[in-house]
A and B are shown apart, each in its own frame.
Chain A
Amino acid sequence: MSAAPARLAVRGVEKAFGGITVLAGVSFDVAPGTLHALLGGNGAGKSTLMRVVLGLERADAGELRLDGADYRPLGPADARAHGVVMVPQERTLCLHLSVEENVTLGLPLGRFGLVGARPRRELAARALSAAAGDAARIDLGARASSLSVADQQLVEIARALAHAGLADDGAVRAKVLVLDEPTSSLGRRDAERLFERVAALTARGVAVVLVSHFLDEVLAHCDGYTVLRDGRVEGEGTPREAGQQRIVREMLGELPRRAERTARPRGDAGEALRVTDLSGERAPRGASFVVRHGEILGVAGLVGSGRTELLRAVAGLDRRVSGTVTVSAPGGLGMLSEDRGGEGLMLSRSVSDNVTLSPRGPRVVSPARLRSEARGWMERLSVRAAGPAQRVRELSGGNQQKVALARLLREDHGVLLVDEPTRGIDVGSKAQILDLLRELAAQGKAIVVVSSQLDELLEVADRIAVLRRGVLGEARDVAAWDAHRLLEEAAA
């Protein structure tokens, strides 16, 4: 053990829910002023561990130490008082309130519960300056809804810092800042900017714990890492020394076997989807493309480029201002939403209800039969759940995504529109889902995949088109692209 006490020390933490062990003795250290990655597949126990650190759960066994002192948070408020704060994965800003109100939300300021306007403004300004830097052009009076996703993220960090407290000179009192998947909704450039800001915080001595699925980010920015698998520490060290392959091996246990890429269809396959000059309210702007049977068209674009709007306009979910969409495939067109909880799934209903949700099918059918059918789909897509009657809410992100995919497969659409298929899911499920898309294309389905993960598009697509500010570029064969060129074109 090192001589200086770690900023945050986790020692043998155990936690079980209803007899199911989630954390089986986890130990790790985060030194002051470092960025530490917490890695692991879905269900590895990352979230539970962070909930313990933030006082949202009490550990069954083990101890936590903060700067060498015993740390037993009684709840999130107590954790804050100790300087331990978190920015959750989902955005939690009140979009109708101003930046200032959002940053100072929930802060007990002043006496008698009254909040002085000026101290509040000053505190918000200091927190924002610490989180976003003085160069940031975020107006304290702006409505949160008017900010870009990236700026909203910085406001969330400012709020977390404000919760831990800021000295009058602007010194940050936060000791540990947990960032849960902070870049999953950011484009690459915004993600880089975020990491610059995180580096500024670590330079002030804050220990930052990063929960992430993006290994390239971890390799590029993190000082240390810990891999969790099935509630145990399976690897730790310095990311750059360990290298991507070793980390992936530690996360997965064994490297997943990738399906051989099937031969790509040539131009002789029939057209399945033709989109001509399609425009929506804001995006897309005059998009045209063709997808043939058995082909995967990748659409690359940064956040805000109109990726989701393009798919929604094609699917007819949003109003089309002009243009035509011709589907010439049996089973029509189906869409996998990027927003699993909001639109993709009925979280409060069972796996079976979700898989078998359909406007078609027999008018009368027994739930038992649907459950047994759902069981078949669960096996086919290796969905890990207690059974078809389990609520989807209780599944991990990767398994939820498989349930959403199973519904689309059951519908047997000839054309699939897939929006960020691997967002927020672990490496193992990601590989399975990409393999599945290839397999479906091999069966003759026409697929449009929209993603901000360029490596993923290069791996899965036959042709790729870049979407920039609502304008869709020409689709070119995947061989003509590499990650650099895609990025250049998307960010130009």
Chain B
Amino acid sequence: MTSAQGAGRRGVSQRVRGVLAERPWIGPLAALVVVFVLFGLATPETFLRTQNLLTMARQTVVVGVCALGMTMIIVTGGIDLSVGSVVALTTVIIAARLRDGAGPVSAAVTGVAVGGAVGAAVGVLVGRFRMMPFVVTLGTMSALRGVAKGIAKEQKIDCDPRGLDTLLVSAQGMGPGLFVALGLAVLVALTLTYTRFGRHVFAVGSNEAAARLAGIDPSHVKLLVYTLAGLAFGVGGVMEFSTLTVGDPTDSIGLELDVIAAVVIGGAPLAGGEGSVVGSILGALLMTVIKTGAVHLGLPTWVQEIVTGGIIVVAVALDRARYARR
């Protein structure tokens, strides 16, 4: 009898594990709900206000949009350390274009295009020349920061944002930027699941040799992934400009670590082959909620930092447990 019960219990845990293996974002979702409810209970009159919810959504946009690109890169088994530099460069380029009299759309498109071009260059080095993405982007992280400072002559570029500042905040409270970000997230998620290219991304990350044997060109896949990710970082730069309203070459230092953390919390191992847009977005939201909630509770920054770091480690530990069979 006890053995039958034991078998039943084991069956349940097996099934739970199966569900978790197929939907790795359930963990971060549960964590997000728990943290949200906790902060909601602790400071209901301020934390749950619509204004605060909107602010949190806005604060997540830059990390979230960049995490879309980073998710693809990490699924291929790569990494990009230059996100912060790309975002700063984008704000500088947008500001410079606006200062020179360009229209808002044209300026934004230029910024995104620069992000894509940088991504393509990284993609060529990583894909075609098989260089380590960590090293390549360690280089571009420094080099692009320098380029941004050079263009901006080591100071902020002031300009008339010409409506780009209303991308995230508008008179109605919610700007179109949020919807752009959501749309992009859906697009990337669908691409990863429903397209041939998306499956190739996972194949390259899971076993590059097997992908090559199957006739897939991993260098081509990586080139595309880094280019698309660069475009996403460019869009992130536009969003960042929208809140800054100036071009700031020293902006977003260390952003890449937040973005990587969001993807990792979302269940993507750095070894590649796994990851999901839903997980990464949840990871980004989780970090924002913790930061905002800590502010509402009046907790100092160092507490937030400890909590965020703890969550990253716990997320990876849970991930290990998920794959530890038996």
Which chain B residues border A394 with CB–CB below 8 Å? 325
Query: Count the B residues whose beta carbon is within 8 Å of the partner chain — how many?
Result: 31
Also in contact, A367 and B7, with CB within 8 A (given A343-B213, A353-B203): no
Task: Tell me, in angstroms, the Cα distance from A344 to B207 when the chains sit together.
Answer: 9
Q: Contact at B197–A348, with CB atoms within 8 Å?
A: no
Of A18, A344, A347, A356, the most chain B CB neighbours within 10 A belong to A18
A residues 332-385 touching B (CB-CB < 8 Å): 334-335, 337, 342-349, 353, 356-367
A135 contacts B by Cβ under 8 Å: no
Chain A, 387-407, CB within 8 A of any chain B CB: 389, 391, 394, 407
Which chain B residues lie closer than 8 Å to A110 at the CB level? Answer: none
B210–A357 CB distance below 8 A: yes
Residue of B nearest to A358 (CB): B214
Which residue of the partner chain A has the closest CB to B271? A348
- Cβ-defined partner of A18 (8 Å) among B11, B206, B215: B11
Q: Which of B188-196, B227-235, B254-262 is the contact stretch?
A: B188-196
Asked if A263 is at the interface (CB within 8 A of a chain B CB), the reply is no
Determine whether the beta carbon of B196 is less than 8 Å from that of A349. Answer: no
Cβ of B326 within 8 Å of any chain A Cβ, yes or no, is yes
Contacts of B22 in A (CB 8 A): 389
Task: Say whether A357 contacts B14, CB under 8 Å.
Answer: no
Known A357-B211, A407-B214; judge A367-B14 contact (CB<8 A). Answer: no
Given contacts A363-B196, A365-B196, contact A317 B212 (CB under 8 A): yes
Residues in A with CB closer than 8 Å to B21 are 391
Contact partners of A365 in chain B: CB under 8 A: 194-196
Residues of chain B within 8 A (CB-CB) of A357 are 199, 203, 210-211, 214, 216
Residue of B211, B213, B217 ringed by the most chain A CB atoms within 10 A: B213
Q: Which of the residues B193, B207, B216, B273 comes within 8 Å of A359, measured between beta carbons?
A: B216
Alpha-carbon distance between A19 and B18 when the two chains are bound, in angstroms? 15
Instruction: Name the prevailing secondary structure of the A interface residues.
Output: loop
Given contacts A18-B14, A348-B273, A367-B194, contact A353 B212 (CB under 8 A): no
Complexed CA–CA distance, A343 and B21 (Å): 24
Q: Which residues of A contact B193 (CB under 8 A)?
A: 367
Partner of A348 from B14, B211, B274 at Cβ < 8 Å: B274
Contacts of B211 in A (CB 8 A): 346, 357
Is A363's CB under 8 angstroms from B195's CB?
yes
Size of the chain A interface, CB-CB below 8 angstroms: 34
Q: Which residue of B lies closest to A362 (CB)?
A: B196
Whether B209 lies near A342 (C-beta < 8 A) is yes
Which residues on the A side are within 8 Å of B196 (C-beta)? 358, 361-365
**B202 close to A (CB within 8 Å):** yes
Q: How far is the CA of A389 from the CA of B21 in the complex (A)?
A: 10
Contact B213 A19 (CB under 8 A): no
Distance in angstroms from B52 CB to nearest chain A CB is 38
- A343–B209 touching, CB < 8 Å: yes
Query: Closest CB of chain B to A276's CB: distance in Å?
Result: 23
Compute how far the CA of A345 lies from the CA of B203 in the bound complex, rounded to whole angstroms: 10
Q: Is the CB of A337 within 8 A of B213?
A: yes
Closest residue on chain B to residue A315 by CB atoms: B213
**Given the complex, which residues of A lie within 8 Å of B326, measured CB to CB?**
17-18
Nearest-CB residue, chain A, relative to B217: A359
Known interface pairs A364-B194, A365-B196. Does A349 touch B213 (Cβ–Cβ under 8 Å)? no
Q: Which residues of A from 148 to 191 have beta carbons under 8 Å from B?
A: none
Q: Give complex CA distance A335, B209 in Å.
A: 12
B10 part of interface (Cβ distance < 8 Å): yes
Contact residues in B for A363 (Cβ distance below 8 Å): 195-197
Q: Given A359-B214, A365-B194, A353 and B207 touching (CB < 8 A)? A: no
**In the complex, chain B residues 163-216 whose Cβ is within 8 Å of any chain A Cβ:** 193-197, 199-200, 202-203, 206-207, 209-216
- Give A351 Cβ to nearest chain B Cβ, in Å: 13
Per-residue CB contact flags for chain B residues 68-79 toward chain A (1 = under 8 Å, else 0) read: 000000000000
> Which chain B residues border A348 with CB–CB below 8 Å?
206-207, 273-274
A367 CA / B22 CA spacing, docked (Å)? 13
Q: What distance in Å separates the Cβ of B25 from its nearest Cβ neighbour in chain A?
A: 16
- Shortest Cβ gap from A334 to chain B (Å): 8
Complex formed: what's the CA distance from A317 to B210 in Å?
A: 11
Contacts of A18 in B (CB 8 A): 10-11, 13-14, 326
> How many Å from the CB of A341 to the closest CB on chain B?
9
| Pairwise interchain contact A343-B210, C-beta atoms closer than 8 A | yes
Establish whether residues B199 and A353, one from each chain, have CB atoms under 8 Å apart when the complex forms. Answer: yes
In contact, B197 and A344 (Cβ under 8 angstroms): no
Most buried by A among B193, B200, B215, B326: B215
| Closest beta carbon of chain A to B23's beta carbon, Å | 12
Q: Are A19 and B202 interface neighbours, CB within 8 A?
A: no
Digit string of B292-326 for contact with A (CB within 8 Å is 1, else 0)?
A: 00000000000000000000000000000000011
- B14 neighbours in A (Cβ, 8 Å): 18-19
Q: Contact mask B37-60 → A, CB, 8 Å, 1/0?
A: 000000000000000000000000
In the docked arrangement, what's the CA distance between A394 and B22, Å?
A: 15
Docked CA distance A365–B202 (Å): 15
* CB atoms of A359 and B215 under 8 A apart: yes
Q: CB-nearest residue of chain B relative to A389?
A: B22
From B9, which residue of chain A is reached at the shortest CB distance? Answer: A19
Closest A residue, CB atoms, query B209: A343
Tell me the bound Cα distance from A334 to B207 in angstroms: 17
- Distance from B290 Cβ to chain A, minimum over Cβ atoms (Å): 30
Given contacts A347-B207, A357-B216, contact A19 B194 (CB under 8 A): no
Contact A335-B10, Cβ < 8 Å, known A348-B206, A349-B273: no
Q: Which of B194, B197, B202 contacts A349 (CB 8 A)?
A: B202
* Cα–Cα distance between A284 and B86 once the two chains are bound (Å): 48
A317 to B209, CA, bound (A): 10
Residues of B within 8 A of A17 (CB): 326
Residue in A19, A349, A366, A389 whose beta carbon sits within 8 Å of that of B11 in the complex = A19
Closest to B8 in A: A19
B11 touches A317 (CB 8 A): no
Q: How far is the CA of A489 from the CA of B176 in the complex (A)?
A: 76
Could you tell me the distance in whole angstroms from the C-beta of A371 to the nearest C-beta in chain B? 12
Q: In the complex, which residues of chain A have a beta carbon less than 8 angstroms from the beta carbon of B207?
A: 342-343, 345-348
Report Cα–Cα, A364/B190, bound state, in Å.
Answer: 10
Cross-interface CB contact of A317 among B199, B213, B216, cutoff 8 Å: B213
With both chains docked as a complex, state the minimum distance between the C-beta of A180 and any C-beta of chain B, in angstroms: 19
* Interchain nearest-CB distance for A329 vs B (Å): 15
| Contact of B197 with A353 in the complex, beta carbons under 8 Å | no
Task: Report chain B residues within 8 Å CB of A359.
Answer: 200, 214-217
B212: chain A residues within 8 A (beta carbon): 317
- Pick 28 A–B contacts, CB within 8 A, sort by A: A17-B326, A19-B10, A334-B215, A342-B207, A343-B207, A343-B213, A344-B210, A346-B207, A346-B273, A347-B207, A348-B207, A349-B202, A349-B203, A349-B206, A349-B273, A353-B203, A353-B206, A357-B199, A357-B216, A358-B196, A358-B215, A359-B214, A361-B196, A363-B195, A364-B196, A367-B193, A389-B22, A411-B215
A343-B207, A348-B273, A362-B196 given; name 10 further pairs at CB < 8 Å: A17-B326, A19-B10, A346-B203, A346-B207, A346-B273, A357-B210, A360-B215, A363-B195, A367-B193, A394-B325
The 3 A-B residue pairs with the shortest CB-CB distance in the complex, in nearest-first order = A346-B206, A343-B209, A359-B215
